Structure 1
Amino acid sequence: MNKFLILSALCVLGTAHAEYRILAPSTAGGGYDTLARNVATTLERTKLAPGSTVYNVPGEGGVTGLRGFTSGQRGKANQLVVFGLTTIASMQLSKDSPVSLKDLTPVARLVNDYEVLVVPSTSPYRSLADLIAAYKSNPGLRFGGASVGSAGHLFTGDVLRAGGGNIRTLKWVPSSGNLQGLKALMNGELDVVSSSYGVAEPEIKAGRVRALALSAPEAVAGIAVPTARSQGVDAELVNWRGIFAPAGLSGEARTRLNGTFSRMALSGDWRALLFAEKQNSFFQPGAPFTVFLTREELRVQGLLRELGLTN
C-alpha cells in the first residue's frame, strides 16, 4: 500500500500544473529560441503545462539574459531558461557580473548537436590530417564560425590541440552565426569553418564545401562525415542544450519538474518537432545532468585557458 501511495504521489507531481515562463537568452529565431518554443509547444500539445510562454533577452552569448534571470528569481519553479555549451563558455569569458551554474537548478539536458569542420571544395586540404599538418606549418590559417568561445571555436581548438598544434596561435575570425561563417568561407575570406552540421549540410550535399571531420564521439546515422576520432585525432564535442530553473527550489518542485520534462521528452509531439528540424533528442534528467555539467565546466575552462582566452 505504501509503495502504491508513493508512486501515485510521483505521478501527481509530474502532471500538468501552472504554465511556465521560459527565457530564450538569444534573438528570435536562434538556436535557444527555437528550443524554447519547441518546449512551450510540446507542453501545450501534451497538456503538461498549457499556456507556457517564451521571451527573449539576447546578448553576450546568453549571459545578459541569465544575469536578469538569476536576479530575484530564487525558488520560483515556474521560471525556466534554456541554454547550452556556448553559454557555459560565455559565463567564463564574461567579466561583468559573471553568472554561475550555482545560481541555477539543472532540470534536463534535451538535445545534442554536432560541429563539422569544412573547407571550400577547391581547398587543397582533403583530410583532417592535411589540415592539421598545414596548421602546424602555417598557424596563420584563417579559421572561423560563430562567436569567440562558441562550440565551433572550442571544437577547432580541441582538434588542433589533439593533433599536436599550439592552439594559442589559432586565428579565429568570428561571425554573427554559422551561416554567416559559411558565407565568408565561400567568399574566400576564411580557410576553414566549424559550423553546426545542420547549417552546413546543404552546402556539403551540394558539393560547395568539403567536410573534414564531425565532432561526435562516434559515427552518427545519416551523417556521412567521419568523426575526428575515427581519423586518429582524440577530439570530440557535443553542442548540447538543456533547460534550467533558478536555484533554491524545494524537493517537491524539483520532483515535479523532473516528472513534467520526462513525460515531455518521451512524447511523440516532442520527437516529431525535433525530427522535423533535424535535432538530436538526448534526454538526461536533473541528477545525471548536474554531474555532466560539473565535468563539462572544467573541460571548457581548460580549453579556454589553452586558447589564451582566460587566465
Structure 2
Amino acid sequence: MRRDTFLKSIVAMAAAGALPTLAQASTNLKLMIPANPGGGWDLTGRALGRALQDAGVAATVAYENKGGAAGALGLAQFVNASKGDPNALMVMGAVMLGGIITGKPPVSITQATPLARLTTEYNVFVLPAESPLKTMKDVVEQMKRDPGSVKWGGGSRGATEHIAAAMIAREAGVDPVKLNYVPFRGGGEAVAAILGGNVTIGGSGYSEFQQYIDAGKMRAVGITAPERIKGIAVPTLKEQGINVEIGNWRGVYGAPGITPEQRKALIEMVVKATRSKAWAESVVKNGWTPAVLTGAEFEAFVERDFASLRATMVKAGMV
C-alpha cells in the first residue's frame, strides 16, 4: 500500500473511532528522551506519550530530557537508574547507533531492552533564507573549492545528517575528513544556528524544519529519501545527481533486567499506542513513515543496522 494511502486510511479509521482503545489504565510511565527539547527524539517521545494515554494504556507519562553525546548521556542515565523497572521507556534510533560507533561510550544500547521501531524519517538539508547559496549544487561547488568554508549543522557526531553530509562530500570528490561539521545537542540549538546564519547548511528531519520552511525562513534544498515524499516538496539528492540515500528511524526501548512477560506487556502497550488517533495525527503532521517492528525482529534489525551504519561510516571516512 502506498504511504499516502496508508496514512489517509489510518486517519480515517481514527476519526471514525475504528482504531481499538482500552479503558483508562492506572499505569504511570516514565519516558527518557535522550536529547534536548525541540528535536526529533523529543517530538517522537512526546507524541508516543500522548498516544499511550489516548490508547488508554497509560494514566500518566512523565518525561525527562537528557541531551548530549548522540543520546549516550541519556542512555547511561536510563540504564543505571531504571534497572528492572517495567514502567520505564526510552526513545532512541539510528542517531544513537551512530554516536555509539563514533564516541564509544561506556554504556551500550544492548544493556537496555528492545521493544519496537516506530517510524522512519529522511533528513532534509536547508539553507537560511538569506543565504547567497540557493541550491544543493551551490553548496557542493563551494565545498569543492574550499571544504572548510561550508559549515554543516546538525545533531551529534554520528547522527544520520552527519553521515549524509560525509557521503555527499565523498560523492563530490571531497575528503570527508575535511568536512566542517558542527554538532548540536538538540534540534532547538540547530534551528537557532541555521536561522542566525551561524552554519552554512543544516540537516535534520523534515518535522523539525517544517514551520520555518513554510514561513520562508529556511530553503529546503535536498532530502535523503530514495524518491520524493508525498506532501514534502523537496527534491531528493539522487535526482540532483548525488547518489546518497539514508533513513533515520526511531524506536523505543525498555529498562534493563525486565522479565519477558514485562517486555511483552510493554510491546503490546506501544503497539496499541501506534493504533491510536493521537499517533495517527502525529504521523501525518510530522511527515513520518510508519515502520512498526517489534520484539525479536526489532532486536535483529538493530544489530543489522548497527553493522550497516558502521560500514557506511568507515566508507565515508568517519571511523
Shorter-chain TM-score: which interval? 0.7 to 0.9
Q: Using a 3 Å threshold, how does the CA distance of structure 1 residues 73 and 227 change in structure 2: closer, same or farther? A: same
Larger Rg: 1
Give the CA deviation at 1:221.
0.7
Q: TM-score of the superposition, structure 2-length normalised?
A: 0.78
Give the CA deviation at 1:16.
5.5
Give the CA deviation at 1:54.
2.5
Give the CA deviation at 1:176.
4.9
* 1:109 matches 2:120: no
Q: Using a 3 Å threshold, how does the CA distance of structure 1 residues 294 and 230 change in structure 2: closer, same or farther? A: farther
**Aligned residue for 1:142?**
150
> 2-side partners of 1:179 and 1:68: how far apart?
22
Amino acid across the alignment from 2:45: A
Amino acid across the alignment from 1:253: Q
After superposition, give the CA deviation of every residue in 1:115-168 in whole Å (9 maximum; x if it has no partner).
Answer: 212335565655444543442333223222233333321221122223443211
After superposition, give the CA deviation of every residue in 1:53-106 in whole Å (9 maximum; x if it has no partner).
Answer: 323333323212211222364444322111222222222333552x22221221
| DSSP-derived class of the 2:219 partner | strand
**Aligned residue for 2:210?**
201
**Aligned residue for 1:165?**
174
Q: Using a 3 Å threshold, how does the CA distance of structure 1 residues 285 and 115 change in structure 2: closer, same or farther? A: same
CA contact under 8 A between 1:167 and 1:306: conserved in structure 2?
A: no
CA contact under 8 A between 1:109 and 1:285: conserved in structure 2?
A: yes
CA contact under 8 A between 1:132 and 1:165: conserved in structure 2?
A: no
* 1:84 matches 2:59: no
**Percent identity at matched positions?**
29
**Aligned residue for 2:272?**
263
**Aligned residue for 2:17?**
none
Give the CA deviation at 1:237.
2.2
- The partner residue of 1:54 within 63, 78, 90 is 63
Give the CA deviation at 1:239.
2.2
After superposition, give the CA deviation of every residue in 1:211-267 in whole Å (9 maximum; x if it has no partner).
Answer: 321012222111111111233433122222211013444333333222222221112
CA contact under 8 A between 1:106 and 1:244: conserved in structure 2?
A: yes
Amino acid across the alignment from 1:139: P
Amino acid across the alignment from 1:173: V
**Aligned residue for 1:100?**
108
**Aligned residue for 1:272?**
281
| DSSP-derived class of the 1:115 partner | strand
Amino acid across the alignment from 1:119: L
Q: Using a 3 Å threshold, how does the CA distance of structure 1 residues 120 and 251 change in structure 2: closer, same or farther? A: closer
Which stretch of structure 1 is more off in the superposition, 267-276 or 257-266?
A: 267-276
Query: What is the count of residue pairs matched by the alignment?
Result: 296
**Aligned residue for 1:290?**
299
Amino acid across the alignment from 1:201: Q
| DSSP-derived class of the 2:99 partner | helix
| DSSP-derived class of the 2:242 partner | coil
> 2-side partners of 1:277 and 1:131: how far apart?
26
Where do 1:123-138 residues align within 5 Å?
Answer: 127-138=135-146
Which stretch of structure 1 is more off in the superposition, 23-32 or 173-182?
A: 173-182
Q: Using a 3 Å threshold, how does the CA distance of structure 1 residues 240 and 188 change in structure 2: closer, same or farther? A: same
Q: TM-score of the superposition, structure 1-length normalised?
A: 0.80
> 1-side partners of 2:127 and 2:61: how far apart?
42
| DSSP-derived class of the 1:88 partner | helix
* 1:219 matches 2:233: no
**Aligned residue for 1:11?**
none
Amino acid across the alignment from 1:244: Y
| DSSP-derived class of the 1:262 partner | helix
CA contact under 8 A between 1:74 and 1:248: conserved in structure 2?
A: yes
Where do 1:29-68 residues align within 5 Å?
Answer: 29-68=38-77
Which stretch of structure 1 is more off in the superposition, 263-272 or 46-55?
A: 46-55
| DSSP-derived class of the 1:172 partner | strand
The gaps in structure 1 that reach 5 residues or longer are 1-14
> 2-side partners of 1:117 and 1:255: how far apart?
38
> 2-side partners of 1:70 and 1:177: how far apart?
21
**Aligned residue for 2:199?**
190
> 2-side partners of 1:263 and 1:184: how far apart?
38
> 1-side partners of 2:229 and 2:246: how far apart?
13
CA contact under 8 A between 2:114 and 2:253: conserved in structure 1?
A: yes
The gaps in structure 2 that reach 5 residues or longer are 1-23
Structure 1 runs of 4+ with >6 Å offset: none
Q: Using a 3 Å threshold, how does the CA distance of structure 1 residues 232 and 17 change in structure 2: closer, same or farther? A: farther
> 2-side partners of 1:28 and 1:127: how far apart?
29
